[in-house]
């Protein structure tokens, strides 16, 4: 265990990923399915996970500056409308920029309320979430109703920015495809999942993935990031060092809204829907906050959380016979056994017992039921969040001043 802890972070995560794929490979064999490691599953996971990732990164900027942004959902809604309107009138790339601007506008409203007027962060966020659907419906009634194919609740179809497929790995020689078709235990499954991540990759998805290391660099390797994080940990100390705390909080919340707006523009792109529809965000802003907590307020953790949320949706999307969804029950049971072992090694008796009980219930459901309801894959991401909050809450560390009112000059 000591040697494992001494490995670089990337090596540990690579080993975790390999063990996870091995578990999926073994479990899916019991239900005679290959959906858990199919290329289409990982491809769909990436599509469904990107809006959650972008919303989570947006929440990261706000909370690292000390502002809790419950209004991510409303800012994402503004991003869907302005993204669709911009794409229809000025092209796909302009749609993305206008979607960012729409979300940033929502962030500015939240910033004015919480920073300048001291409104409770949750109340302000809820107000943004209420204001955004009403504003977009009014805009649709005034604008989209005049478009051919548009109405008060939807827009005409919008253009996309295009896709790329990674050469050699997934096109041309298609090395991953060759390994996948060779049907070699474990290696073909790894190749299948990887090929899904490298095939028909949206340019917006590529941008979103690149934003993860960029955000980590910006927040932890630059003067701007240091000052922003000081505002979320000890704003009084930052003020004593001459930092304009208000300015950094404003910038962080506006950036937060811009990320949520980009998530909304992604939703209306052909990658997911290709059209603006009222209510199409379906709570992804709140899921982004959950991914933020699951990722322990770190960009890489948010990415993992977003993919964990997207994976059940990707598996269930084409699971016509329900075999893959049934297999996920056994995966959950085994994962909970791992949680029980982890808790036992740390002397957490209550957590150990609870994990064993939950694992037994999941295993019993797997053995008794021949198939599971359609809603199982829809609620599984939320189950994952609850498990993390119950068993790993002591390892979570939010910014110390997140949600705390701040007034210049007050200690």
Taking the C-alpha atoms of residue 46 and residue 166, their distance in angstroms, rounded to an integer, is: 15
Contact 71, 273 (CB under 8 A): no
Model pLDDT, residue 65: 97
Average of per-residue pLDDT across 391-396? 78
Q: What is the pLDDT of residues 55-69, one digit of tens each?
A: 999 999 999 999 999
Q: What is the mean pLDDT of residues 370-399?
A: 82
Instruction: Name the pTM for this structure.
Output: 0.93
Task: Give per-residue pLDDT as tens, 291-342.
Answer: 998 899 999 999 999 998 889 888 887 777 788 889 999 999 999 999 999 8
Q: Are 102 and 81 in contact (CB under 8 A)?
A: yes
Mean pLDDT for 14-21 is: 89
Query: From the centroid of its chain, how far is CA 138?
Result: 29
Report the sign of the C-alpha dihedral through residues 216, 220, 223, 229, in that order: positive
CB-based burial, 312-349: b 16+ in 10 Å, e otherwise: bbbbbbebeebbbbbbbbbbbbebbbebbeebeeeebe
pLDDT of residue 1 exceeding 90: no
pLDDT per residue as tens digits for the range 88-131: 999 999 999 999 999 999 999 999 999 999 999 999 999 999 99
Question: Measuring CA to CA, how many Å separate 284 from each of 53, 58, 107, 367, 382?
Answer: 10, 12, 16, 33, 12
Lowest mean pLDDT: which of 18-32, 265-279, 387-401? 387-401
- pLDDT at 411 (0 to 100): 56
What is the bridge-based pairing of β-strands 154-157 and 275-277? antiparallel
pLDDT bin (cut points 50, 70, 90) of residue 410 is low
Domain range annotation of the chain: 34-165+200-318, 320-398
- Predicted confidence (pLDDT) at residue 374 exceeds the cutoff of 90: no
Pick the CATH number of 34-165+200-318 from 1.10.8, 1.10.3470, 1.20.1070, 1.10.1760: 1.10.3470
Neighbours of 227 (CB within 10 A): 19
pLDDT > 60? residue 147 = yes
**Minimum mean pLDDT range among 93-107, 281-295, 392-406:** 392-406
* pLDDT confidence tier of residue 163, bands split at 50, 70 and 90: confident
Shortest CA distance to 189 belongs to which of 30, 355, 372, 35? 35
- CA-based end-to-end distance of the chain: 45
Which is nearest to 186 in space by CA: 13, 10, 24? Answer: 24
pLDDT digits (tens, 9 = 90+) for 228-259: 999 999 999 999 999 999 999 999 999 999 99
The 3-state secondary structure of the chain reads CHHHHCCCHHHHHHHHHHHHHHHHHHHHHHCCCCHHHCHHHHHHHHHHHHHHHHHHHHHHHHHHCCCCCCCHHHHHHHHHHHHHHHHHHHCHHHHHHHHHHHHHHHHHHHHHHHHHCCCCHHHHHHHHHHHHHHHHHHHHHHCHHHCCCCCCCEEEECCCCCEECCECCCECCCHHHHHHHCCCCCHHHHHHHHHHHHCCEEHHHHHHHHHHHHHHHHHHHCHHHHHHHHHHHCHHHHHHCCCCHHHHHHHHHHHHHHHHHHHHHHHHCCCCCCEEECCCCCCHHHHHHHHHHHCCCCHHHHHHHHHHHHHHHHHHHCCCCCHHHHHHHHHHHHHHHHHHHHHHHCCCHHHHHHHHHHHHHHHHHHHHCCCCCCCHHHHHHHHHHHHHHHHCHHHCCCCCCCCCCCCCCCC
Assign 4 a pLDDT band (cuts: 50, 70, 90): low
Residue 171 has pLDDT above 90, yes or no: no
Number of neighbouring beta carbons within 10 Å of residue 16 = 11
The C-alpha atoms of residue 101 and residue 85 are separated, in whole angstroms, by 12
Give percent of the chain above pLDDT 70.
98
């Amino acid at each position: 265990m000591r040697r494992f802890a001494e490995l670089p972070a990337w090596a540990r995560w690579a080993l975790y990923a390999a063990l996870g794929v091995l578990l999926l490979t073994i479990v899916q064999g019991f239900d005679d399915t290959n959906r858990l490691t199919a290329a289409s599953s990982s491809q769909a996971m990436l599509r469904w996970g990107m809006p959650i990732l972008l919303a989570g990164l947006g929440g990261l900027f706000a909370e690292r500056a000390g502002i809790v942004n419950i209004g991510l959902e409303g800012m994402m809604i503004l991003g869907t409308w302005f993204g669709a309107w911009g794409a229809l009138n000025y092209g796909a790339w302009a749609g993305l920029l206008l979607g960012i601007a729409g979300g940033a506008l929502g962030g500015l409203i939240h910033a004015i309320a919480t920073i300048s007027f001291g409104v409770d962060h949750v109340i302000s966020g809820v107000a943004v979430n209420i204001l955004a659907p009403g504003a977009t419906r009014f805009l649709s009634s005034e604008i989209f109703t005049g478009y051919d194919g548009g109405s008060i609740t939807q827009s005409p179809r919008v253009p996309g920015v295009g896709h790329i497929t990674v050469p050699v790995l997934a096109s041309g020689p298609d090395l991953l495809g060759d390994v996948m078709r060779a049907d070699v235990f474990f290696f073909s499954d790894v190749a299948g999942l990887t090929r899904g991540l490298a095939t028909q990759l949206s340019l917006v998805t590529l941008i979103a993935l690149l934003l993860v290391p960029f955000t980590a660099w910006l927040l932890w390797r630059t003067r701007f990031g240091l000052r922003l994080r000081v505002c979320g940990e000890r704003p009084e100390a930052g003020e004593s060092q001459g930092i304009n705390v208000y300015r950094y909080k404003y910038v962080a919340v506006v950036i937060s809204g811009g990320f949520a707006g980009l998530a909304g523009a992604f939703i209306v792109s052909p990658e997911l829907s290709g059209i603006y529809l009222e209510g199409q965000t379906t709570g992804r802003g709140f899921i982004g906050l959950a991914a933020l907590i699951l990722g322990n307020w770190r960009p890489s953790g948010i990415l993992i959380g977003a993919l964990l949320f997207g994976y059940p949706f990707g598996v269930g999307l084409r699971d016509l016979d329900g075999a893959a969804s049934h297999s996920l029950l056994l995966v959950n049971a085994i994962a909970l056994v791992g949680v029980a072992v982890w808790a036992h090694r740390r002397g957490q008796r209550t957590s150990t017992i609870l994990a064993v009980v939950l694992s037994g219930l999941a295993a019993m459901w797997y053995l008794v039921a021949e198939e599971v309801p359609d809603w199982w894959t829809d609620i599984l991401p939320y189950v994952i969040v609850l498990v993390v909050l119950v068993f790993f809450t002591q390892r979570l560390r939010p910014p110390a001043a997140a949600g705390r009112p701040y007034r210049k000059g007050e200690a």
